[in-house]
Structure 1
Amino acid sequence: MKTSEGRLHPFAAVFVSLQIVKGLIVPLIVIFLSKHSRSGSGTPLYFQVGWSLAALVGSIVWGFLSWRRFRYEVSEEQLKVTQGVFVQKKTFIPLERIQSVDVTEGVLHRLFGLVRVEVQTAGGQKPEAVFSALARGDAARLRSMLEPGKAPQGQEQPEPGVLSAGSGSDPSKLRLTYKLPVGSLFVAALTTGGFGVSVSLLAAAMGKLDELFPDFHVYRYLWNALDAAMIPLFALGILLVAWMISAIASVLKFANFTITRKENKLLLTRGLLERRQVTVPLRRIQAIRIVEEPLWQLFGYSALYAETVGYGVQKGENAHLFPLLRNREIGEFVKRMTPQFEVPASLKHHALPRRALWGYALPAPLVLALAAAAAGLITPWAYVGLLLCPLVMIWQWWRYRNAGWSREGRMLVLRFRRLAKTTAVIPLSRVQSVSVEIGPLQRRLGLSTLQIAVASGRRGAFFRLAGLPEQEARELARWYMDRNKR
Structure 2
Amino acid sequence: MSKPRRLHLLGILLRAIKLLKDFLLPLVLLFVTQILKRGYSLSWLMFTGTVIILVLLAWGLISWFRFTFRVENEVLVVEQGVLIHKRSVIPRERIQAIDLNQGVLHRLFNIVSVQVETAGGDKPEAVLYALSMSDAQLLRRRLLVSGVEEDRNYAGDAVALKRLSLKELFLFGATSGGALGLVLYLFSGAWTLLDDIGLELDLQRYLMWVWDYVNPVYLAAFIILVLWLLAVLGMILKYGDFTLTRSGDRIQMVYGLLQRRQVSIPVGRIRAVRLVEGVLRQPLGYFTVHLESAGYGPRSHEKTLFWPLVRKNELVFLLNKFLPEFAAEIPLQPLPPAAGRRYMLRGFIPAALLALPIFIWLPWGEPALALLLPVLGGLWGFWKYKSAGWGVRGNMLAVRSRSVVRTTFVLPNRSAQSFSAECTPWQHRAGLMSFKMDLASQAIFGLDDVSSIDVQMLTNWFRRRKQSDIRLIED
Shorter-chain TM-score bucket reads: 0.7 to 0.9
CA deviations 1:258-304 (Å, max 9, x no partner) are 11112222111000111110111223322211112243333322110
In the TM superposition, residue 187 of structure 1 has moved relative to its aligned partner by: 0.6
CA distance in 1, matches of 2:325, 2:274: 14
Is structure 2 residue 471 aligned with structure 1 residue 465?
no
- CA-CA distance at 1:394 after TM superposition: 4.6
1:108–1:198 distance in 2 versus 1, CA, 3 Å:
closer
Secondary structure in 2 aligned to 1:468?
strand
Q: Following the alignment from structure 2 to structure 1, what is the Cα–Cα distance between the partners of residues 361 and 344?
A: 28
- Structure 2 match to 1:485: 467
Report what 2:152 is aligned to: none
Tell me, what secondary structure is at the counterpart of 2:26? helix
Shift of 1:249: 2.0
Shift of 1:106: 0.6
Contact 1:98–1:121, Cα closer than 8 Å, also in 2 = yes
For the pair 1:413 / 2:398, whether they are aligned, the reply is yes
Question: Matched residues in 2 for 1:206 and 1:234: separation?
Answer: 20
What are the residue-to-residue correspondences of 1:109-120 with 2, within 5 Å?
109-120=106-117
CA distance in 2, matches of 1:243, 1:429: 42
Higher mean alpha-carbon deviation, 221-230 vs 97-106, is at 221-230
Q: Helix, strand or coil for the counterpart of 1:311?
A: coil
Deviation at 1:49, TM superposition (A): 7.6
Find the counterpart in structure 2 of residue 29 from structure 1.
29
Residue 419 of structure 1: SS of its match in structure 2?
coil
Residue pairs, 1:42-441, within 5 angstroms = 53-74=50-71, 77-85=74-82, 91-122=88-119, 125-144=122-141, 146=142, 148-150=144-146, 175-194=159-178, 197-198=181-182, 201=185, 205=189, 208=192, 212=196, 216=200, 225=209, 226=211, 239-312=224-297, 315-316=300-301, 319-343=304-328, 345=329, 347-365=330-348, 367-368=350-351, 371-372=354-355, 374-380=357-363, 381=366, 383-387=368-372, 393-439=378-424
Rate the CA distance shift 1:463–1:228 in 2: closer, same or farther, 3 A.
farther
How far is 1:184 from its partner? 0.6
Displacement, 1:4?
A: 7.4
Question: C-alpha distance in 2, partners of 1:14/1:434?
Answer: 49
Paired residues of 1:81 and 1:129 also in contact (CA < 8 A)? yes
- TM-score between both structures, scaled by the size of structure 1: 0.78
Cα distance in 1, alignment partners of residues 180 and 389 from structure 2: 27
Aligned residues: 459
**8 A contact 1:435–1:452 mirrored in 2:** yes
Quick one: distance in 2 between partners of 1:360 and 1:317? 31
Instruction: Compare 79-88 and 372-381 and name the one that shifted more.
Output: 79-88
C-alpha spacing 1:196/1:437, structure 2 compared with 1 (3 Å) = farther
Amino acid aligned to 1:302:
F
Partner Cα distance (1:439, 1:218) in 2: 61
Query: CA distance change for structure 1 residues 303 and 468 in 2, over 3 Å: closer, same or farther?
Result: same
Aligned partner of 1:349: which letter?
L
Distance 1:223 1:50, change over 3 A: closer
Tell me how far apart the structure 1 counterparts of residues 127 and 50 of structure 2 sit (CA, whole Å). 29
Q: Report the alpha carbon displacement of residue 120 of structure 1 after superposing the two structures with TM.
A: 3.3
Query: How many Å separate the matches in 2 of 1:454 and 1:358?
Result: 30
Q: Is the 8 A contact 1:309 1:317 kept in 2?
A: no
Q: Say if 1:423 and 1:126 are closer, same or farther in 2 by CA, change over 3 A.
A: closer
State the alpha-carbon separation in 1 of the partners of residues 299 and 359 from structure 2: 46
CA distance in 2, matches of 1:315, 1:265: 19
CA–CA distance in 2 between the matches of 1:478 and 1:179? 40
C-alpha distance 69-229 of structure 1, shift in aligned 2 (>3 A):
closer
Structure 2 distance, partners of 1:433, 1:358, is 29
- Once the two structures are superposed, residues 300-331 of structure 1 have per-residue CA deviations (whole angstroms, 9 ceiling, x without a partner) of 22110112234347754761110001212222
Secondary structure of the structure 1 residue equivalent to 2:25: helix
Measured on the aligned residues, the alpha-carbon RMSD in Å equals: 4.0
Does the 8 Å contact 1:96/1:150 carry over to 2? Answer: no
Flag structure 1 segments of 5+ consecutive residues without an equivalent: 152-163, 166-170
Q: Flag the 1:368–1:85 CA change in 2: closer, same or farther, 3 A.
A: closer
In the alignment, which residue of structure 2 is the partner of 1:157? none
Quick one: distance in 2 between partners of 1:95 and 1:432?
23
Match of 2:18 in 1: 19
Report the Cα distance in structure 1 between the residues aligned to 2:368 and 2:80, rounded to whole angstroms. Answer: 64
- % same residue: 32
Is contact 1:355–1:445 with CA below 8 Å preserved after alignment? Answer: yes
- Any conservation in 2 of the 1:305–1:321 contact (CA below 8 Å)? yes
Aligned-partner residue type, residue 377 of structure 1? I
Partner deviation per Cα, 1:160-193 (whole Å, 9 max, x = no partner): xxxx97xxxxx99872222111111101110114
Pairwise CA distance, 1:454: 1.9
Q: Normalising to structure 2: TM-score of the pair?
A: 0.80
Superposed displacement of residue 133, structure 1? 2.1
Question: Structure 1 pair 44/15, CA: closer, same or farther in 2 (3 Å)?
Answer: same
Give ranges in structure 2 of 5+ residues lacking alignment: 150-154, 469-475
Q: Does the 8 Å contact 2:119/2:297 carry over to 1?
A: no
Instruction: Quote the Cα distance in structure 2 between the aligned partners of 1:78 and 1:324.
Output: 38
Quote how far apart the aligned CAs of 1:419 are.
2.8
Q: 1:414 to 1:77 in 2, by over 3 A?
A: closer
Higher mean C-alpha deviation, range 171-180 or range 445-454: 171-180
- The DSSP-based 3-state class of the residue aligned with 2:176 is coil
The 8 Å contact of residues 175 and 261 in structure 1, kept in 2 or not, is answered as yes
